[in-house]
Structures are given as structure tokens and as C-alpha cells.
Amino acid sequence: MKDVIIIGAGIGGLTLALTLHRAGIPCRVYEQAPEIKGLGLGINILPHATKELAALGLEHALADIAVTTREAVFFNRYGQLVHREPLGRHAGYDNPQFSIHRGDLQAVLLEACRKRIGADRILAGWRCARADQDGDGVTVHFNATATGAALAPQRGAAVIGCDGIHSVIRKQLYPGEGDPIYSGVNMWRGATWWRPFLTGESFVRAGWLESGKMIIYPIRNQRDAQGRQLVSWVGEFYTPKYKRRDWNRAGELKDFIHVFEDWKFDWLDVPAMIRSAETILEYPMVDQEPLARWSFGRITLLGDAAHPMVPRGSNGAGQAILDARTVAECLAGKTDTAVALTQYEAIRVEATANIVRMNRQNPPDAILREVYLRTGDKPFTNIDDVISREELAALTHGYARVAGYDKETLGSSRKTG
């Protein structure tokens, strides 16, 4: 059997390698980075995706490093509590929610790939340029990242573009599509070693995009000698100024700190935490119009390459993981690769398009938009006079249903209170 060729050793590509291997389908992974190092900052993996990672035997390895997230907590920009709800197993799901450094997740997946599939099948320094197909398979063309020199073309049964937001495979399929679409929100991100706040396992969203919003959560289980945790944070607000998305672009404190200068709460001194960050990165919140088609014969797309979404529902990595499970299931036991990839697309295109749209309109942080609008961005006396508990619960439940991690869809072992 010919190998499936995977472009990109990010979260989607490495998970796909593991799901294909489990299904008995041989594969090779080609990554443009000269070395696969754990890059990025914090991400969250919700129960629908941790379920898949557990099925791949990775839950313990992840639980050792990540924070098993206990609760989502929403505040206004004055630090007043709006809403609090349990998450993952604490909310009655069979699987946890993890808050994790993207690099730690990538490292766990990479180690599993090397052990199960073989280190020689995960290649770094190979930048994909193009993929061609014929009746018998695909030919994928690469350049060496270090020198730009053309490398030997690679033959395979199929090629899956897991090459992220600036996917060359997507550009090849949709040459006229243009750059990702800017949402109007720019983000500054960092990670800071800081004293545990709230439960030490809390995922905080605060404020609103008009006057400044923060997302703050710890991402490593272990604490340093001073009892501090690694805390990932994102500050974001509407601004016409932004630069092309590059996951590693350095950000500058002076461009955003003024918005959060008076965010000194009894549970966290936000500006002090921001100022103590080792690195600050900047990137625009972007997505793309959902595509009606990803699969063209033996070529298809997965993860951000297929359905980039604005990061407002903690779902980018999770949906890439669900794609990976689906591709392997569709290919398993099929003789016609193109038919299998069309089946994958039929299962996943509409499901992910709905999340792309929901992330634009009503992700879980829409709770904060409601409070912002109803209070005119002023402090409130009693949150129950602003928004009812039923409305708050309906907003988060509605998102969970569209994103596929509501309890009815996933099943749960016990009821929550």
C-alpha cells in the first residue's frame, strides 16, 4: 500500500499520522520547519477533542503536563464576576478540558508519532511547493527549507494539506482566494510565570472587544520553586491596525498596555502580569470564508488549512483533531481513495463551516458582549439585574451544540448540578 503524504507537523498533521497508523494506513509527514520544536503559547482542548486524544492513548501524557481546566469564569472590565461554569470532567463530561502550551501538545503528539510510526517518517526541513495527481497516486514537490533547493518528488496514495492558515495546498486548489480576512480585532499574546489565581485551574475571559478584552489561563501543571504557574494571556480589541498573521511576530507593550492599565483586581493584577511576560507576540484575528469543497481526487485539506476560524471558542486545534479521526475512518478499508476523501469532506465541511460562522457571531464570549451592551460598559450592582442565569447558560450551551461538544452529543457519565 502506498503512503498517505501529510503536509505539516502541527496539531492536525501529527494527530492524523496517529489516527492513520491506528487504522493500519502507512503515512509520512513533511514539515517545513528545519526542526520540529514546540512553538506557540496557550491553547485549550475541549472534551470532544480530548476524547479523541484519549482514544489514541495520550490522556495521561497530556494530564501530566497540562492544566486540567476546572471552570470558565467571565468578568467585566472592572473585575466584577459575570458568570462561572464548570468545564470538562468537572462539568460531568467523560473527558477533561486541558489548557496546554501548544508546544507541549505538539511534543506529546510528536513523541507518539516517532515511537509508533518511526522517526524516519516524520521529516523536517521539507517545504511543500505543490502536489500533482494521476490515476495511480500523487506526486508532491518540495524544496529544502534551508537552501531552497528542490528535493526529490515524493509519491503517495493521497496528500492531505495540514499546512495551516497559509496553506500552499489550499492556495493551489483556490488560487484566487486571497489573504485571510481580518476580523477587526488585533491580539497581543504572552506567557508569564505568575502566582496561581482563582482556583489555579480557571479559564478567564474578561471585558469586551470595544474597550479591551483579556483571556487568561494557566497552561502547565507543574509550579516553579516560588509556587508560580505558567499563565498564558491574550489582550485583544478592535483596531484597524494589524499586520499579516505570523505565529511568531513580536508584539510591543506600548501598543496595547494602555488599554489594560487599570485592570488591578483583587484576584489578579493584570498589567503587572503582562509586564512580567518573557515574550510578547502579536497577531490579527483572521479567518476565511468557509469552502464548499476540500477534496479534489486524491488531494484534500485538514485543520486550519481547511477551515481557519477566529480563535474565540477554543476550537481550532479541536476541530483539526476531529478531522484527523474522520479522514482515517473514511480511508480505512477503502480501495477508492478519492471516494474516501469525498466522504470525509461530506462529514466535516458543513460541521466546521457552522463553527467558523458561530465564532464570528456568537462564541462563548458573546456573554461579555451582552453585558457590555446592557450596562453601557459601566460597573453593575447586581448581575442578575443585567442578564439572567438562563440566558447565560443558553449562550454557552448554544455554542457547545454547534461545536459538537454538548453533553447530548458527546454523552456524559453523570449529571451536573
Q: Does 311 bind ligand FAD (CB under 6 A)?
A: yes
33 part of the interface to ligand FAD, by CB under 6 A: yes
Quick one: 51 or 407, whose CB is closer to ligand FAD?
Answer: 51
Q: Using the rule CB under 6 A, which residue among 3, 6, 13, 28 binds ligand FAD?
A: 13
Interaction of residue 231 with ligand FAD, rule CB under 6 A: no
Q: Binding to ligand FAD (CB under 6 A): which residues in 347-406?
A: none
Nearest to 128 by CA among 141, 146, 111: 141
Instruction: Decide if residue 32 touches ligand FAD (CB under 6 A).
Output: yes
- The residue number whose beta carbon is nearest to ligand FAD equals 10
Least distance from ligand FAD to the Cβ atom of residue 113, Å: 13
Among 102, 170, 245, 298, binds ligand FAD (CB under 6 A): 102
Question: Which residue from 196, 197, 214 is spatially nearest to 205, judged by alpha carbons?
Answer: 214
Which C-beta is closer to ligand FAD: that of 169 or that of 383? Answer: 169
CB of 364 vs ligand FAD, minimal distance in Å = 15
Contact between 296 and 338 under an 8 Å Cβ cutoff? The reply is: no
Q: Pick the closer one to ligand FAD by CB: 77 or 102.
A: 102
Least distance between ligand FAD and beta carbon 128 (Å) = 4
**Residue 343 corresponds to which cell in the numbers above?**
466522504
Least distance to ligand FAD from the beta carbon of 216, Å?
Answer: 14
Q: Tell whether residue 72 is a contact of ligand FAD (CB under 6 A).
A: no
Stretch that binds ligand FAD, among 55-63, 92-100, 249-257, 312-320 (CB under 6 A): 312-320
Of residues 127 and 213, the one with the C-beta less far from ligand FAD: 127
Min dist CB 83 to ligand FAD, Å, is 22
> Any contact of residue 39 with ligand FAD (CB under 6 A)?
yes
* Nearest distance in Å: CB 150, ligand FAD: 14
Q: Return the number of the residue (89 or 170) whose C-beta is nearest ligand FAD.
A: 170
Told to check if 122 binds ligand FAD by CB under 6 A, we report no
Cell numbers at 383, concatenated = 448581575
Contact between 349 and 292 (Cβ < 8 Å): yes
CB of 97 to ligand FAD, least distance (A): 14
Among 17, 18, 21, 30, binds ligand FAD (CB under 6 A): 30
3 state SS for the chain: CCCEEEECCCHHHHHHHHHHHHCCCCEEEEECCCCCCCCCCEEEECHHHHHHHHHCCCHHHHHHHCEECCEEEEECCCCCEEEEEECHHHHCECCCCEEEEHHHHHHHHHHHHHHHHCHHHEEECEEEEEEEEECCEEEEEEEECCCCCECCCEEECEEEECCCCCCHHHHHHCCCCCCCEEEEEEEEEEEEEECCCCCCCEEEEEEECCCEEEEEEECCCCCCCCCCEEEEEEEEEECCCCCCCCCCCECCHHHCHHHHCCCECCCCEHHHHHHCCCCEEEEEEEECCCCCCCCECCEEECHHHCCCCCCCCCCHHHHHHHHHHHHHHHHCCCCCHHHHHHHHHHHHHHHHHHHHHHHHHCCCCHHHHHHHHHHCCCCCCCHHHCCCHHHHHHHHHHHHHHHCCCHHHHCECCCCC
- Contact with ligand FAD (CB under 6 A) among 18, 117, 128, 383: 128
Is residue 19 part of the contact set for ligand FAD (CB under 6 A)?
no
Number of residues near ligand FAD (by CB under 6 A):
31
Kindly state whether residue 304 participates in binding ligand FAD, applying the rule CB under 6 A.
yes
- The answer to whether residue 213 forms part of the interface with ligand FAD (CB under 6 A) is no
Query: Exactly one of 12, 212, 363, 404 binds ligand FAD (CB under 6 A); which one?
Result: 12
- C-alpha dist (Å) from residue 337 to 27, 172, 173: 14, 20, 18
Question: Phi and psi dihedrals of 209, rounded to 5?
Answer: -65, -25
Q: Which is nearer to ligand FAD, 109 or 209 (CB)?
A: 109
Region 236-265 residues binding ligand FAD, contact defined as CB under 6 A: 247-248
Cβ 117 vs Cβ 27: under 8 Å: yes
Binding mask 149-178 for ligand FAD (x = CB under 6 A): -------------xxx---x----------
Candidate segments 4-12, 253-261, 327-335, 392-400, binder of ligand FAD by CB under 6 A: 4-12
* The CA-based dihedral angle spanning residues 107, 39, 146, 303, taken in that order and rounded to the nearest 10 degrees: 80
Q: Could you list the residues that contact ligand FAD (CB under 6 A)? A: 7-13, 30-33, 39-41, 43, 102, 127-128, 162-164, 168, 247-248, 303-305, 311, 316-317, 320
